[in-house]
Structure 1
Amino acid sequence: MPFITHKTSKQPIELYYEDYGTGQPVILIHGWPLSHRAWDSQVSAIVDAGFRCITYDRRGFGVSSYPWDGYDYSSLATDLNEIILALKLKQVALVGFSMGGGEVVRYLTDYGSENVKNVALISSIIPIVKKKEDNPNGVPEKDLKGIMDALKTDRVGFLKGFHKNFYNYHKNKDRVSEAQLQYDWTIASYASPHGTLQSAKAWAETDFRPELKNVTVPTLIVHGDADAIVPIKTAGDQAAKGIKNNTYKIIKDGPHGLNVTHSEEVNKILIAFLKS
């Protein structure tokens, strides 16, 4: 199993990664609370289209290290940077799903775009999740608190139901199986309990609106208009207004986990963008 060791000031972080294909490198950054396996429906399509596809497990998830600290976005961006440096990547495409969109934007904020050709934000939390006076379409704080409380008291029980909302399962039983729900639950429940909670706080509380100006490379934004986890009005719509050089694709009836339910459509959009 391949790992990259990120020697941080507190302790070394072992980051599990998979690397397939040749051509322009594409890094797929998974969402919360899954692992690199969340991209199972994309990897083959990207490699077959002539790209080098790299996936990795965020710290605290999958089989990467489970440190106690470092689940804020700047720390997570250092892990992404370490992967780019260790693999000597140039002209990379960064693709962030849900929480992973935060690593994309924070990487551009902290490290710039010298090694980045383009980026994609898919069902992304960018630019802000929480409902505020100046963000009326966000997720109410009481709902976010409910998630945090559930993660503290019955994490695996909460995760059992989470992915039904993730896929709008009651409306998409023809697109996602019960086995997929079980698969996701297994991946999510295996993650670090502390890391799951701390990274949830990061995506729930971080306001990326001031950082949108740092996204200067060509950007693809893909969001489902039926996303029940990260509402399109607080995410995709605002990201498209705040990022100048963007291509915005709205997937009709797409839930949060549209990379699974609408995988063919997502893959077609993503590969066309990468080739452009």
Structure 2
Amino acid sequence: MSARHAAPNFIHTNDGTMLFYRDWGQGAPVVFVGSWSLPSDMWNYQTLALSEQGLRCISYDRRGHGRSSDPGRGYDFDTLADDLAALLEVLDLRGVTLVGHSMGCGEIVRYLTRFGSDRVARIALLGTTTPMLALAPDNPDGIDVALFEFFQTQQLMRDYPEWIEENLPPFVVPQTTPAMVNWVRQMALNTSAKALKDCNTAVVRADFRQEMKRINVPTLILHGDLDASAPLALTAEASAALVPGAVLKIYQGAPHGFFITHMDGINADLLAFAGADQRVAVE
């Protein structure tokens, strides 16, 4: 089966999985790839703002997330990159700015590895989990895999709602309203358990170090210095050191959920980078 349009705002991927997408605005296309556990709704405060500033903003739900179907398979980075490729192909998008958050950054890197940059003008990696999270002899600053295994077996597979409650405070800032926190909570709780486990496994096992050296498009990396989910030195700084010509901007006092807590700054940087005015540089 080849990728094709299904019902309005849905496409069928090459393996028949149905993906939901939003397509707001006109102008240079910007495609948003979401975080682990969160659907395309997470980007509402970026896509609404940027679409009103002359950009075409497209966001989609990863398989097993949001309104997309839950096939119970295909949560590896190769298949997820193929899903992104199917979206770009079906919508025939070119000159695209790809914007990812957390796990979504890995999908963007793997897309470039598998499909090249013919359709892609530039990429922005926010709160990235690249290049490699796991501890290994050649990654001595990584995180012990036993911690990820504990999360899967003792938290995700036993009491995921309680884990969400414990991990929401460092995801945001003290000034974040309870209503906004609850919105994030509900999005995460509605995600397929199979997708959560298998996507987490994919992130833990991923090693993008060699792939990132071959990225050949302008790359902007935005990261918070208080990111507890993706420590700055292990992720953003290491990624910036690998990608030729990458620009790294560090947000002071920003957590992993800085697309919410620092939305004005994020939106301004993405607007400058993505194409509303290519002459504007990111400060």
Name the TM-score, length of structure 1 as normaliser: 0.94
Whether the 8 Å CA contact 1:105–1:214 is kept in 2: the answer is: no
Query: Following the alignment from structure 2 to structure 1, what is the Cα–Cα distance between the partners of residues 274 and 228?
Result: 27
Query: Following the alignment from structure 1 to structure 2, what is the Cα–Cα distance between the partners of residues 147 and 15?
Result: 28
Task: Map 1:135-150 to 2 at 5 A.
Answer: 135-149=139-153, 150=155
Cα deviation 1:34-75 (Å, max 9, x = unaligned): 110111221122112211000000001101010111100000
Q: Which residue of 2 aligns with 1:74?
A: 78
Query: Following the alignment from structure 1 to structure 2, what is the Cα–Cα distance between the partners of residues 124 and 104?
Result: 11
Q: Displacement of 1:195 after TM fit?
A: 0.9
Identity within the alignment, %: 35
Q: Which runs of 5+ in 2 are unaligned?
A: 1-7, 279-283
Q: Which residue of 2 aligns with 1:7?
A: 14
Name the TM-score, length of structure 2 as normaliser: 0.91
Q: Which residue of 2 aligns with 1:155?
A: 160
Whether the 8 Å CA contact 2:46–2:263 is kept in 1: the answer is: yes
Q: Which residue of 1 aligns with 2:114?
A: 110
Query: Following the alignment from structure 1 to structure 2, what is the Cα–Cα distance between the partners of residues 94 and 251?
Result: 20
Query: Following the alignment from structure 2 to structure 1, what is the Cα–Cα distance between the partners of residues 149 and 167?
Result: 15
| Amino acid in the other structure paired with 2:157 | K
Match of 1:37 among 36, 41, 44: 41
Runs of 4+ in 1 over 6 A off after TM superposition: none
Q: Displacement of 1:135 after TM fit?
A: 2.3
Cα deviation 1:220-241 (Å, max 9, x = unaligned): 0001111100001111001110
| Amino acid in the other structure paired with 1:234 | L
Cα deviation 1:131-165 (Å, max 9, x = unaligned): 22332332222321222121111122222322222
Query: Following the alignment from structure 1 to structure 2, what is the Cα–Cα distance between the partners of residues 55 and 79?
Result: 13
Q: Which residue of 2 aligns with 1:252?
A: 252
Q: Displacement of 1:20 after TM fit?
A: 0.6
Q: Which runs of 5+ in 1 are unaligned?
A: none
Is 2:69 the counterpart of 1:65? Answer: yes
Q: Which residue of 2 aligns with 1:201?
A: 201
Whether the 8 Å CA contact 1:130–1:141 is kept in 2: the answer is: yes
Q: Which residue of 1 aligns with 2:125?
A: 121
Three-state SS of the structure 1 residue aligned to 2:185 is helix
Q: Which residue of 1 aligns with 2:5?
A: none
Q: Which residue of 2 aligns with 1:243?
A: 243
Match of 2:30 among 26, 40, 55: 26
Q: Let me know the Cα RMSD of the aligned residues.
A: 1.2
